[in-house]
Amino acid sequence: MLLLMETFCLPLLSYSCEALSYSKQHLNQLNICWNRAYRKVFKMNDWESVKEVQALCGRPDFMHIYAQRKLIFISKISRLNNDVMKACFDIFL
């Protein structure tokens, strides 16, 4: 069930999150939505925390998913910029 949830739901929740800057409130709402999906899978009540379940399954919460994807995106952009700059210098030299 977790694999299905991560395959079909997570891409919808995290679509283009790398390129966007969410407000803290919006990010919190996305995290709540992700936590509710875990509650549905594990048949938990609204007042029960899913942090332990996520930790035991080795899966991060949405805040960490967002931060990780943002970091990877920025890292790729910085490498791309370095490659473009090097190519420009090679052309002119």
Q: Has this prediction a pTM greater than 0.95?
A: no
Question: Are the C-beta atoms of 34 and 2 separated by less than 8 Å?
Answer: no
> Considering its fold, how many domains does the chain have in total?
1
d(CA 40, CA 43): 5
pLDDT at residue 20, as a whole number? 87
- CA 82 from centroid of its chain's CA atoms: 25
Share of the chain above pLDDT 90, in %: 68
Q: CA–CA separation, 38 vs 61, rounded Å?
A: 10
Residues in the chain with pLDDT values less than 70: 83-93
State how far the Cα of 13 lies from the Cα of 66, in Å rounded to an integer.
Answer: 10
Q: Which of 34, 40, 22 is nearest to 59 (CA)?
A: 34
Q: Which domain holds residue 77?
A: 2-92
